Structure 1
Amino acid sequence: MSEECLLVLKESFYDELSKKISSTAKVHKDSIFLTLLRERKNNVMQNLDNSAVFSENADPQIINELIERGFIRCGNDLSKYVMTAKGVWEVERRLDKISLTKLMDDIDEYKYDISWGEKLTDKEKVVILSLIALRSFHEKTPLNRKNGKKAIQNIHEIILKTIEFLNNSIEGFKYSIPDETRESPVNSVFARLVNLPQNTRRIYKFNEKEGKSWLDIYDEEKGMISEEKLSYLLWKVFGGNLSFEDQTKIDSFCNNILYTHKNYVYSLEELTNFIFADICYQNAISNSLFKIAENSALWEELDKAKKKK
């Protein structure tokens, strides 16, 4: 392509398109090409039309060459020409603003890469510890907010006890149940937890329509609890610097919650499926607390790596 054609493509088409986009949106990674990939089709067409070049203002020979190379095409108005994706790519490739590697990295980040393991909010910590204490480790034994009035009363008590325990255990903990909400106090705690599945690497599960929440920790085929997952959740709540005394207090708190409230929170059908009070699972929480020390550095690095991207 001649230098003259390239100059027209850059100054008459690309610069004008860049100016229009910059005035209405933030340019992503200094690239118009990447920015347009994230825009709605109508917005893309509007930006292209607003930066179109009238045919009467351009050299016909240059226009024909740019059309033949696929860098521009006729716009909605047949007397105007607009850039194509190929044209934007050509200019930005020469400006070192885009490359195949940059494109693949951006698509991977935008469409494929999920941000795992963000720091839990105080509210999320309340929910996770409540589920751990109740041993809601399987879809068949969830914390079910539609199990009736008695269950709701007990869930409310569990939440209040959990808030008090975390307030005494974690410096700077500030969560409390809102006084006035459109939902009931219990439902307000479990509402708007859209980030919690990602923040717990999909261990937290819920069915909002059925009012159910649980932790995906139990492997039914193997008949085993994943102490690694449980340990990870406890680390997310309490951090990695737990003394033996701290571990004992947490284990004792969880056991107290379970044996005080289990028979009132779970339905008869759920209690039939509830195996997590059996002796073989008795030490699951204490074992998981003990494992935090050996895994916390790895988890910190894994979660940090995702946040940097």
Structure 2
Amino acid sequence: MDEDIEILNTLYTKLKDVCVRSQQKKIHGSIYLALFDIGSKTRRMRVLIDSAVPPSVLTFSDLERFIGLNYIQYIDEDKNLVLTSKGIWEIEKNLNIIDEDKLIDFINGKAFDCFKSINQSLQDKEKVLLLVAMSVRTFSESSSVDLTKSERIHSYWKDAVEKSYEFLCENKVILNKDVLKDLFNGRTGKTALLPVIHCFRYSADIPKKTNGIYIAKNSKYYLNIYQNGDVEVNKLAFLFNLIFKENINSELVKNIYEHCCTMSYEKSVEVFSVGEHPFATSTYDELIYEALRMLIVDVRP
């Protein structure tokens, strides 16, 4: 096998050089894994095409043997060759660059380690978006932040984001004055509607940090806390704690309650159609307050 590796080294070296150029950074370790890290199949194909060599770099007998072993393949009517996945694997395994354990660790990190964000604190922009979902009471898919609706509805959600940001700033829960700019991708004008889509769509860690309670599905964003006709108060309390745990006190509890009630009644008539949103009622006001009482005991105003 050592002799085979030496023969295939021309193809491997060129592939590594092309891969480094495409990534625009040094690659420490496995080219095999670096190719997996290229998210686009088209870009990965381009790297392989750019690494192709003519058959003349190999003797006829080596060419036939490596094709038979599935180490190399033609890409364009027998004119140029590239290494196959198996070929790269065998080379790097022989060079002690990769093995089964490293591959499994890589796959686990990419696809199965879904819990890194659990127990991590929310970023300021995530606190804003979660408070929007809670205060407007997006407690089911039918009462979601639905960005498939008209731009007029987008403008109401934009206003909800701004008011939630202002509330968190006023109560010193967040201090970063650039949060709105970050949320709206640098555009904060009254006509900036597309950034509302941006700010919800690119907050991928909120579902993980909320133990899957926050749902992002087909441009709809909601809290999965309404089961069998009841809102799960424990989950509400958990979400409030994620946002306010470092700042909670009796005065803040009063302010949160008032903000959530005001936002619910104000926004429900703007963003939801008649009959699709059952949560803007005194019954759910009580549940909001009950959840807040689980954080701190206080007398409601």
CA change 1:257–1:78 in 2 (3 A) is: closer
Structure 2's unaligned 5+ residue stretches are: 182-186, 297-301
State the alpha-carbon separation in 2 of the partners of residues 152 and 116 from structure 1.
Answer: 29
Q: 1:190 offset after TM fit, Å?
A: 5.3
State the alpha-carbon separation in 2 of the partners of residues 59 and 23 from structure 1.
Answer: 29
Provide the secondary structure at the position in 2 that maps to 1:269.
coil
CA change 1:252–1:86 in 2 (3 A) is: same
State the alpha-carbon separation in 2 of the partners of residues 24 and 140 from structure 1.
Answer: 44
Provide the secondary structure at the position in 2 that maps to 1:196.
coil
Q: 1:54 offset after TM fit, Å?
A: 4.3
Q: Does 1:47 align with 2:50?
A: yes
TM-superposition CA deviations, 1:101-140 (whole Å, max 9, x none): 3323333444555575676554543343233223332234
- The aligned counterpart of 1:69 is 69
After TM superposition, list the pairs within 5 Å mapping 1:135-284 onto structure 2: 135-142=137-144, 161-169=163-171, 170-174=173-177, 175-176=179-180, 180=189, 182-183=191-192, 188-189=195-196, 191-196=198-203, 198-200=205-207, 201=212, 203-205=214-216, 214-219=222-227, 221=228, 223-258=229-264, 266-270=272-276, 274-275=278-279, 277-279=281-283, 281-284=284-287
- The aligned counterpart of 1:92 is 92
Q: Does 1:36 align with 2:45?
A: no
Q: 1:179 offset after TM fit, Å?
A: 5.1
CA change 1:194–1:224 in 2 (3 A) is: same
Q: 1:255 offset after TM fit, Å?
A: 3.0
CA change 1:193–1:28 in 2 (3 A) is: farther
Provide the secondary structure at the position in 1 that maps to 2:141.
coil
Larger Rg: 1 or 2? 1
Structure 1's unaligned 5+ residue stretches are: 294-309
Query: If the length of structure 1 is used for normalisation, what is the TM-score?
Result: 0.68
Q: 1:193 offset after TM fit, Å?
A: 1.4
Q: 1:74 offset after TM fit, Å?
A: 4.6
> How many pairs align?
277
CA RMSD of aligned residues (A): 4.1
Q: 1:217 offset after TM fit, Å?
A: 2.0
Q: 1:33 offset after TM fit, Å?
A: 1.4
Match of 2:128 among 95, 118, 126: 126
8 Å contact from structure 1 (residues 12, 53) kept in 2: no
CA change 1:73–1:153 in 2 (3 A) is: closer
State the alpha-carbon separation in 1 of the partners of residues 275 and 93 from structure 2.
Answer: 63
State the alpha-carbon separation in 2 of the partners of residues 176 and 73 from structure 1.
Answer: 51
After TM superposition, list the pairs within 5 Å mapping 1:286-297 onto structure 2: 286-289=289-292, 291=294
Q: 1:85 offset after TM fit, Å?
A: 2.0
State the alpha-carbon separation in 2 of the partners of residues 13 and 54 from structure 1.
Answer: 11
Percent sequence identity over aligned pairs: 24
